[in-house]
Amino acid sequence: MQYKGNSIVKEGKAVQLDDGVYWVGALDPDLRSFDIILNTANGTSYNSYLIEGSEGYALIDTVKAEFADDFFARLESVTDYSKIKAIVLNHLEPDHTGALPELLKRAPQARVYISQRAQSMLKALLKDSSENLEFQVVNTGEQISLGDCTLTFLSTPFLHWPDTQCTYLEEREILFSGDVFGCHFCDGRLFNDKVGDFRFSFDYYYAHIMRPFKKWVLEALDLIDPLDLRIIAPTHGPILRDRPRRYVNHYRELASNSLSGELGTNEKSMIVFYMSSYGNTARMAEAISVGAGSISGVRVSMFDLQGGETEPFVDLIEEADALILGSPTINGDAVKPIWDLLSSLIVVDLKGKVGAAFGSFGWSGEAVRMIEDRLRGLKLRVPQQGLRVKLIPNDEELEDCYNFGKDIASILIGKKKECKVLEFGEL
């Protein structure tokens, strides 16, 4: 149990992180997978915070249900429930609201503060017991007072669910940031200047939790940038008290397009990926790429998936304007590397990009339509019916490929109208 050695976290005790501010969360060092999709090599923490004001206490978030006893014991080490005036829910995912139903029973006088988008989630979470619950919806800039200290709310949706918000303690310059600036890293030394090296966990968490919502990250950073920051207190991982601004700046770097500047102004990027068993789909890819590249203002890149790892391509695709995929049909399906690539795109925002599919086939040729369906499912626009060639493309068919690439490139720069594309079931 790595958190028990030089840990400052003791059973049944809160940890003071600033004047009148306490950590009352829980450590989960044995967790190895979070939300099914994230590996957690040394566990995680569920950070909850208690703020003491001259006119009462405010709680920021709770913990996962299994850790409710830890949370209540730490809370009781500082105050009793009757003094809790406010419960702020920055995020309603169960890892932060597991102890909420019981907390509401113990502190029925406390008012609950949530974001606009959190209302339906709160009702769904509490079901019948939500009927008599008094809660208040708060937006950016709205404040509540605890007497000698003030909490200001910042609406930061989609980080990492639609309901998320941050809360800023004005007098102490502490940002309770929810999942933002968090990571799955369990270390009982709690503070970023004391814990082990968590850089990997920080970036890994960003890549899997925040990256699909880059636009929202940048909007949140615009709200956070002007704040004076002494401490950032996220819901997972180390509390960032040593040079917290570094993490804000790092988020901005992560959320900005790393390839910016590679493409010319007004230039569009198209990436063609393919797999080929007898070289036929490869010939199609080549002709499509040449055709697309003949359109001024479109930069085309072509990759054989057989020669690449999927992960680095995700960065390219995130910043590309068009994604064209070629696969032969084998046993009525596209080949596995194509599906692997597509499933790895869950971490990026693809909405509105142009997508298309092509491929050579020997018998039934379902792969192209199946890929198109998946592209639509990922919210790409599929403006051109996919191109299929039976076995070896002849000169005429290669000419069709050339024109296919040219047409998609023309659509990409707005020089050609999109076609009506039939979906799989309509064919």
The amino acid present at 99, given as its one-letter code, is A
The number of beta carbons lying within 10 Å of the beta carbon of residue 307 is 6
Q: Nearer to ligand FEO by C-beta: 160 or 268?
A: 160
User: Any contact of residue 381 with ligand FEO (CB under 6 A)?
Assistant: no
The nearest distance, CB 148 to ligand FEO, in angstroms, is 30
CA distances (Å), origin 31, targets 38, 40, 316, 350: 10, 6, 32, 31
CA distances (Å), origin 262, targets 29, 354, 385: 42, 20, 30
User: Any contact of residue 179 with ligand FEO (CB under 6 A)?
Assistant: yes
Q: Which two tokens stand for residue 257?
A: 């397009």
User: Any contact of residue 96 with ligand FEO (CB under 6 A)?
Assistant: yes
User: Any contact of residue 208 with ligand FEO (CB under 6 A)?
Assistant: no
Stretch that binds ligand FEO, among 89-97, 212-220, 341-349, 391-399 (CB under 6 A): 89-97
Residues 128-167, mask of contacts with ligand FEO (x by CB under 6 A): --------------------------------xx------
User: Any contact of residue 211 with ligand FEO (CB under 6 A)?
Assistant: no
Residue bearing tokens 């102890």: 99
The number of beta carbons lying within 10 Å of the beta carbon of residue 246 is 12
Q: Report the site for ligand FEO in 12-51 (rule: CB under 6 A).
A: none
- Please give the size of the binding site for ligand FEO, defined by CB under 6 A: 9
The number of beta carbons lying within 10 Å of the beta carbon of residue 147 is 11
Stretch that binds ligand FEO, among 93-101, 129-137, 243-251, 360-368 (CB under 6 A): 93-101
Which helix (H) or strand (E) is 152 found in, with range? strand 150-155
**How many residues would you count in the chain?**
427
Contact residue for ligand FEO among 93, 163, 286, 318 (CB under 6 A): 93
Q: Which two tokens stand for residue 51?
A: 């703020």
Q: What's CA 109's distance to the chain center, in Å?
A: 35
Tell me the C-alpha distance between 275 and 294, whole Å: 23
Nearest CA-CA partner of 63 in 80, 45, 79: 45
The nearest distance, CB 165 to ligand FEO, in angstroms, is 12
Stretch that binds ligand FEO, among 90-98, 185-193, 351-359, 383-391 (CB under 6 A): 90-98
Tell me the C-alpha distance between 221 and 249, whole Å: 9
Stretch that binds ligand FEO, among 16-24, 87-95, 261-269, 284-292 (CB under 6 A): 87-95
User: Any contact of residue 61 with ligand FEO (CB under 6 A)?
Assistant: no
User: Any contact of residue 91 with ligand FEO (CB under 6 A)?
Assistant: yes
User: Any contact of residue 184 with ligand FEO (CB under 6 A)?
Assistant: no
The nearest distance, CB 35 to ligand FEO, in angstroms, is 8
Q: Report the site for ligand FEO in 223-242 (rule: CB under 6 A).
A: 235-236
Written as one string, the DSSP assignment of 243-283 is STHHHHHHHHHHHS-TTTTSSPTT-EEEEEEE--SSSHHHH
Footprint on this chain of ligand FEO (rule: CB under 6 A)? 91, 93, 95-96, 160-161, 179, 235-236
